[in-house]
């Protein structure tokens, strides 16, 4: 069973913000695969189903970004997820241009508080991730204000396409493994 967790913040105020692109990817994947992400459990909203014959849990932690690890650790323990092989985390990344995706098998938090929380709660950084580029912070902007800012109309179109590409990447991870998916998707654009 795979746990696929998109990071974000709960509530309408945070919808359509850069920091919530993980939630957007979960919604895209859920819509494509007819999985309803409605059940409130483990400090998250989750949906269970199958993608390409693999049993999956799609999750949107509701702990706010900086405490994402609490929810993910609780789900991993409850469902006996091998976090090194069966956890996929989707997060925003300001070091990638808007719409670019990059897959990783492991790595540091890179200043991302949601990833930092997950690493702290798991005790290591060895989990698969789909990093979603949201563009670099413009000079003079506060980082928190930037990632909690809303996409422009053009950016939103680009991010919707990127969410579909990320869903394809996740399907490839499930079917062929992270290495094949990294070889296929990393370096595009």
Residues forming the active site: 19
**Angle CA 96–15–117, to nearest 5:** 60
> How far is the C-alpha of 144 from the C-alpha of 149, rounded, in Å?
8
Give CA separation, 89 vs 69, 72, 137, 166, in Å: 11, 9, 22, 11
Cβ(25)–Cβ(6) below 8 Å: yes
Could you tell me which residues are beta bridge partners of residue 108? none
Handedness of CA 63, 45, 143, 101 (dihedral sign): positive
Instruction: Name the burial class of residue 184, with classes exposed (0-12), middle (13-18) and buried (19+) by CB atoms within 10 angstroms of its CB.
Output: middle
Under a CB-based contact definition with an 8 Å cutoff, are residues 137 and 95 in contact?
no
């Amino acid at each position: 069973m795979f746990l696929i967790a998109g990071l974000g913040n709960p509530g309408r105020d945070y919808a359509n913000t850069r920091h919530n692109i993980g939630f957007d990817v979960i919604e895209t994947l859920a819509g494509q695969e007819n999985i309803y992400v409605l059940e409130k459990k483990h400090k998250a909203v989750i949906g269970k189903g199958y993608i390409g014959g693999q049993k999956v849990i799609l999750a949107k932690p509701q702990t706010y970004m900086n405490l994402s690890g609490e929810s993910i650790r609780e789900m991993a323990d409850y469902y006996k997820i091998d976090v090194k092989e069966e956890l996929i985390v989707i997060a925003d990344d300001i070091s990638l241009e808007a719409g670019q995706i990059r897959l990783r098998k492991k790595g540091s938090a890179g200043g991302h508080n949601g990833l930092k929380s997950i690493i702290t709660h798991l005790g290591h950084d060895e989990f698969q991730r789909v990093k979603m580029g949201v563009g670099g912070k413009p000079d003079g902007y506060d980082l928190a204000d930037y990632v909690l800012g809303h996409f422009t109309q053009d950016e939103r179109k680009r991010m919707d396409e990127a969410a579909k590409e990320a869903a394809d990447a996740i399907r490839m991870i499930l079917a062929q493994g992270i290495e094949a998916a990294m070889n296929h998707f990393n370096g595009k654009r």
